Amino acid sequence: MNRRHPSWRTPWDGDAARSVRSRHRLLALAAAENLLVHAYHLPFPGLGRVAGHGGTFRWRPERPG
């Protein structure tokens, strides 16, 4: 998932249009609710929050301690 460009598609998106809608919906929900998110493919530590940023999204990793 490209957090800055959730509309970009990958070869693994079986239904490209649906995958884009799903990414937008989930990222918007995580940002709006300030949810703690665990995502293996995002920068270490893979635990953080998503922030809306001018029509895109920004990853904010949780800092230990």
Residue 1 has pLDDT above 50, yes or no: no
Domain limits at 25? Answer: 16-61
Domain count, the chain: 1
pLDDT, the chain, mean: 84
6 within some domain: no
CA atoms within 13 A on the CB side of 8: 7
7 within some domain: no
Q: The whole model's pTM is what?
A: 0.75
Residue 29 has pLDDT above 60, yes or no: yes
- From residue 63, give the alpha-carbon distance in Å to each of 10, 47, 54: 30, 9, 24
User: What average pLDDT does this structure show over 15-23?
Assistant: 88
Q: How confident is the model at residue 3 (pLDDT cuts 50, 70, 90)?
A: low
5 within some domain: no
